[in-house]
Structures are given as C-alpha cells and as structure tokens.
Structure 1
Amino acid sequence: MTSLLRQGEGLITNPHHVILVLGALQLVPLHHLTPTVYQSAFLAVHEALFAIIQCHPQVMLNAAPSFLNVFYRLVASIMQEGRQRGDSDTDGDVYLQCSRLIERMYSHIAATAESFTTLSAFMVAQYVTELQKVTLRPDVKLHLTEGIYRILDLCVEQDIKFLTAGLQMGVREVFNELYSSYTHYHKAQRQGEDKYTV
C-alpha cells in the first residue's frame, strides 16, 4: 500500500482511494504486541502516513481529520508502550525509535500547516489528555515534547485560550505545565533564532 502511495497523484488520481487507505490504517492493531511486532506495525502505519503527507498534498486538504485519527493512534500507542516501568527495559530502543518518528511526523504536519492549522488546538488537547494518563520514560517524553512544540507553534492566542478554558482540571494542569515549558524553552529559543536570522 505504501509503495503505491509513494507513486503519488499520478497513479492514485481518486482522493477517495487515499481516504480508504486511511480507513484501513485505523484497523492495524497496535496493542498487546511483542516489541518486534509492535515496531513493524508502527513502522508500516507511519510509512503509509508519511507517503500520504509527502505525495498526496491535495488529499490532505480534505482528509486532515482522518489522517490525524490514524496518527493519534500512533501517539497514544507509543505513550502506552513508552511509559516508565519498574522492570529493566530491554526493549527501550524500539520505543525510543518510534518516539523519534512521532517527533518527525509532528514536524512534517507543522510544515504542511495549511491543512492542519485549524486542528492544531485539537492535536494539543489529544496529546495532553493522553499524557495525563501515563508517566513516560524521559527519553521517549523528550521526543514527543519536541514534536508537540511544533504543533504549539501553529496555535494562535485564541487556541491557547480555548485550551486553557476547555480542558478538564487534571488535563489543564498538564497543558499549563507543557505550555510553560514551551514558552520558556522552545518559543524563546525560536524567537532568538529568528532575530539572529534577521
């Protein structure tokens, strides 16, 4: 499926066929798998999403919600698999690699902002809702945080107000903590880089 998608709009001319692929990706199991099977399933879904975002820009204008539903399954699954455990973690590299791919996908989503700008607050809300449920391993959390910072870059002041007012109490605290670290570390650094570039 992914190799077909990589042929781009020259081969798959009907946008509905790409939306059918997104529907099929929703059904790929990502829970209760061994690390090796999890990694191959995760990579297969990620590569298909990557092919869609790279090779089917016209579809993305209408299919962004479907795309995000599939991507959210990847985010939620890596948060479950990448949580801190009491036992020694021999499979950490699998989950660390997957968290790097999530960070990369957030960057690609942010780069195609016209499809996702209106959904950026929604993406942040999904992220902090999942984050409130787990304690992530620091190395996994680092990549996911860097990724969600890119989506926060798309959020306008109205989005931030919406998130602050609309999230439930515990989730709002997680968001406030995330937004505070975003403004302190990422936003300040980015503004410094912009100033330096000018």
Structure 2
Amino acid sequence: MDLILMQFGVDGITSGQPNADGTGIGTMIDGEAGEPNWLGVTAKFGSLTFQGDKCIELVSINQGIKQQVTTDVSNNARTSGRPVITDFTCVKYTDYTSPKMYDYCLRALTLDNVNDAPTILWVLRNSGDQLNAIMAIELRLTLISEIHFQSHPNDMPTEQFKLNFTEIGWLHQVQGASVNNGGFSATAWSIAKNRPIPAAGN
C-alpha cells in the first residue's frame, strides 16, 4: 500500500509533534508494533528533505497536465496556447489541521514562502519493514484554492481541497535491485513563466 503525505513549507499548521509511534496527525496507520515509522524515513531528493513533523496524511491525490492541440484546418500550427497544468485535488480526513487550512484558504495565505522550504507531496511505499520514498512533487507558492467538507455514513468525515501553485517539480526515485536508491528522474515547470526550470533532484 502506498502512503501519501503532504509536507507544509511553513511552520505552525501541524502540531509539530508526531504521535508516540512517529506518525502524524490524522494518520491511517494504526501504530501497532512493527508499523513503519514516519520519522524513520530519511528521504532526500536533491535539495528536498523529508520532515515528518510537518506532514499530514492524504487519502488520495489527483492532478493532470495537457497540451492544447488545435483541430482548426486554417491553422498550420498543431498546438494552440500554453500547456495546462491543473490544480492538485487532495482528500484527507478531518483532523487538527482542518481549521488552520480553512484559515489559510480564506486569507489566501501560501503554504510555503519564496526562497524557503516548498510544499511537498510524498508518495511512499512499504518495502519490507521500511517506508521508501518513490515520488516527490515539489510545489511553490502553494494556495488552497478551495476546500469542501463531507460527512460519510460509515466513515469519518473527509475534506477535499485543491492546491494551486506557480511552480511544480516531479521527482521519481529509481529503486535498485537491492532496494536501494538507484538514482533520480526529475523535471520542473514554471507556470508563471511558462517554461522549464531546474528540478530539485538535478
């Protein structure tokens, strides 16, 4: 099972103190003996560093990119306009961070600051008794553009929210045959400038 974590760039949204088992706020990991410990993750993707005390667990994330292609017969160009990079749609359980995230959305405050730690989405995978980071998505000047609360008859309430950003970087860790780090593949794009930028893993 993959584990998806969102690491805030700014301080003060999470409590800063993980649970006794090392997991964070609102985690779906039950904390029984032998469960992977967030604090045991020592992932470092180039300049990106995992910080478990600034993470919350997500149920799911969804995002897409597309190139605008024209079908106009009078236009010799195949593409029309700039590429579209959609907001991230994320789902999480309601927890300690919920009121603070509502506040950040209402005040249009960014979840990270310029020239400081970015907002990072981590995709981790259970590998034996360890959690290995297989994907990191770096976001800059991230805003919560909308957030929706939803109750469920047979489950805890959840929140679906969207993350808007000005820069994004995708970094994938290649796993070696001995389950070690076999290198990185990375790319990054500036939505504000509409051009590629250096990726954190390079």
Q: TM-score, normalised by structure 2?
A: 0.28
**Greater helix content:** 1
The structure having more radius of gyration, on CA atoms, is 2
